[in-house]
Amino acid sequence: MRENTSKTLRGIRSSRVLKAIAFAVAGFALLTPKYSVGADSAPRVVLNTSKAGPRAMESQTETVLLRDYKFAWANLEQALESNSTAPINGLFVGTANAWLTNAVTTQRSSGIRSRYLNQNHKVEAVFYAPEGDLIELHDTADYDLQILDGDKTIHDEHVIVHYVVLMNPGSDRWVIRQIQAVPQF
Amino acid sequence: MSSSINTACTTRKSRIGSEQWCRVLQADVRGDVRQSVRRRGALAFAICAVFLAGMLYAQDTDLRAPSAAVAGTPASIGTTGGGSATFYLVGPSIAIERAVQLGQDIPLTAKELESAGKYIAIVCAGNCRSVGFFVAPAKPVSLAFLVHPSRAPVGESNVVSGVALPFDEFHNLVLTPTSVDFQLTAAGAAPVSHRASTQNGAAWFRTSSGRSAGNLQITASINGVSTRRVVQQVASDPCRLQIKGQRNAKGFVVETEPVRDCTGNPVPDGTIVTFTARDAQGTDTVDAPVKKGIARAQMEGTGPVTISAASGVVMGNELHLGAQ
């Protein structure tokens, strides 16, 4: 009698364990795609060029600009999180390059890191020079800004920031020359 | 706990056989337990009190951001509370950390606020409090002035354009609308002025080139600051070609009259003129560059010949030379 009872109990336990494993596997399978999307930290950028002027923007220029702006923010994020100036060098020139390099070096010396997570950028081209050698963008960006001292998070905030951005055409890409946050446009 | 008392009581009872002693022991143990519970309660209360006091103390720390900070101008962050804390300032081109005393203003130097943009000030004493503020650009002291093209043919409409962007001494783009004066000066023509207000930090103009070849000086000025650029206005395409020729010992030589554009400017040296000679033998072609306004070519042939010239889209007169 006792043996039968213990066998039944073992059976119930093992079926519960199996159910739990099955639920865990199903849950993992269901959550994995969502996690992958969440882990994809590439900035999301939407570009509107309908108000650009006085020069109208060519569709190929728009495509390249979008690609390079998105890539620039990914590099900025990487530079300020890893405190490395290497990611800045490709797409930031002039003042933007100097500022970011300074930000990275002072962060490094202070033991601070910044993380720009879940970036969304609504970008509007507001000025495109007559000869096509300058574009001004207005970027309404929202992201989770985390500032860390070592491993301690000292600031964690979801922010909406307005950026005025000047870009120039380089040899094979558009580069950021100026990036300046403003209270509003 | 009660089970252990009962076990001890039962053990002692069996050893000395006294119910009374057992009651005494149980009472003593209960008393100890109560005392222990009281002590633990007091300790927990003390820990909670310290924690709450800490929280209240930390929450007392309040930060006041500078109301209208300007690039390159010292400012301060107001704090409340007391005790020491760690202060962080994270801005567009800076990240600093230093120890501060709460209850006193935290001074920010001009150097720390050179870049316009958003700053975050954080103070950590136990937990962290933060405040964000913006630094505005200072007065414009320089103009970035882009002018195109560097060489422009005369008499073309809307061929010259310029964009001016004002910057302060710390390379911040000045976004407040400001009037920019563009002045265009060319030799032999009255200066032309054009005023434009910056919109989103940029002012621009577009204009036609003049009628005379030579330098076109373009100056952009803002609040006493000016930047100059030069566009070289060059002759446009040749307008008409007139050729002449004569026989010589080698055959015949042809040359143009001075080649000019439609407004009378001599075309630049190096402009190519193509001479074509047709005779009974066939067609012969020579490309000759303009030198000092004239293109010249030596061609061979003894029979009657018809010569024409072309440059760009312009054709000259036909010239007929008889047999030698």
pLDDT in tens, B272-302: 999 999 988 899 999 999 999 999 999 988 8
B173/A131 touch (CB, cutoff 8 Å), yes or no: no
B128/A155 touch (CB, cutoff 8 Å), yes or no: yes
Chain A residues within 8 A of B91 when measuring between CB atoms: 103
Q: What is the token pair recorded at A48?
A: 């509107």
pLDDT digits (tens, 9 = 90+) for B164-219: 999 999 999 999 999 999 999 998 888 999 999 999 999 999 999 988 899 999 99
Q: Are B43 and B74 members of one domain? A: no
CATH of the domain at B128: 2.60.40.10
| Pairs of CB atoms within 8 A across A/B | 109
Chain B residues within 8 A of A133 when measuring between CB atoms: 146, 148
Q: Are B157 and B210 members of one domain? A: yes
Mean pLDDT, rounded, of chain A? 86
pLDDT in the model for residue B233: 93
**Helix or strand (DSSP H, E) at A80:** helix A59-82
Domain coverage including residue B41: 2-59
A103/B128 touch (CB, cutoff 8 Å), yes or no: no
Do residues A153 and A125 lie in contact, with contact meaning Cβ atoms separated by under 8 Å? no
Q: Chain B within 8 Å of A123 (Cβ-Cβ)?
A: no
> How far apart (Å, rounded) are the C-alpha atoms in residues A141 and A164?
11
How many independent structural domains does chain B possess? 4
Q: DSSP letter for B293, please.
A: T
Which of B104, B136, B168 lies at the terminal end of a domain, its last residue? B136
Burial A92-113 (b: 16+ CB within 10 A, else e): bbebbbebbbbbbebbeebebb
pLDDT digits (tens, 9 = 90+) for B55-101: 444 445 789 999 899 999 999 999 999 999 999 999 999 999 999 99
User: In Å, how far is A122's CA from the nearest CA of chain B?
Assistant: 17
Instruction: Give the chain B residue nearest A108 (alpha carbons).
Output: B95
pLDDT in the model for residue B42: 66
Do residues B84 and B106 lie in contact, with contact meaning Cβ atoms separated by under 8 Å? no
pLDDT in the model for residue A7: 54
pLDDT in the model for residue B49: 54
pLDDT digits (tens, 9 = 90+) for B134-155: 999 999 999 999 999 999 999 8
> How far apart (Å, rounded) are the C-alpha atoms in residues A144 and A174?
26
pLDDT in the model for residue A6: 55
Q: Are B223 and B146 members of one domain? A: yes
Q: Domain A43-182: state its class.
A: alpha beta
Q: Is B256 exposed, middle or buried (0-12, 13-18, 19+ CB in 10 A)?
A: buried
Provide the percentage of residues in chain A whose pLDDT is more than 90.
75
Q: How far is CA B73 from CA A95, A119, A180, B97, B113, in A?
A: 19, 32, 18, 20, 7
Q: Are B224 and B289 members of one domain? A: no
Kindly tell me if the per-residue pLDDT of B240 is higher than 90. no
Q: Which ipTM did the prediction report? A: 0.79
Of residues A46 and A2, more confidently modeled: A46
Which of B117, B136, B155 lies at the terminal end of a domain, its last residue? B136
Q: In chain A, what are the domain boundaries? A: 1-40, 43-182
Q: Are B40 and B116 members of one domain? A: no
pLDDT in the model for residue B13: 47
Of B317, B127, B168, B312, nearest in space to B235 by CA:
B312
pLDDT digits (tens, 9 = 90+) for A82-95: 999 999 988 999 99
> How far apart (Å, rounded) are the C-alpha atoms in residues B254 and B316?
12
Q: Chain B within 8 Å of A114 (Cβ-Cβ)?
A: yes
User: In Å, how far is A121's CA from the nearest CA of chain B?
Assistant: 17
In single-letter form, the type of residue at position B50 comes to: V
Q: Are B228 and B273 members of one domain? A: no
Which of B136, B166, B199 lies at the terminal end of a domain, its last residue? B136
pLDDT in the model for residue A29: 44
Whether the ω angle into residue A54 lies within 30 degrees of 0, i.e. cis, is: yes
Q: What is the token pair recorded at B20?
A: 């009374």
Instruction: Give the chain A residue nearest B121 (alpha carbons).
Output: A155
Q: How far is CA B205 from CA A165, B233, B303, in A?
A: 21, 17, 59
Of residues B31 and B296, more confidently modeled: B296
Kindly tell me if the per-residue pLDDT of B130 is higher than 90. yes
Q: Are B106 and B174 members of one domain? A: no
Instruction: Give the chain A residue nearest B116 (alpha carbons).
Output: A180
Mean pLDDT, rounded, of chain B? 86
pLDDT bracket for residue A10 (50, 70, 90):
low
Do residues A125 and B98 lie in contact, with contact meaning Cβ atoms separated by under 8 Å? no
Do residues B63 and B130 lie in contact, with contact meaning Cβ atoms separated by under 8 Å? yes
User: In Å, how far is A11's CA from the nearest CA of chain B?
Assistant: 35
pLDDT digits (tens, 9 = 90+) for B90-125: 999 999 999 999 999 999 999 999 999 999 999 999
User: In Å, how far is A43's CA from the nearest CA of chain B?
Assistant: 19
Q: DSSP letter for B96, please.
A: E
> How far apart (Å, rounded) are the C-alpha atoms in residues B111 and A76?
23
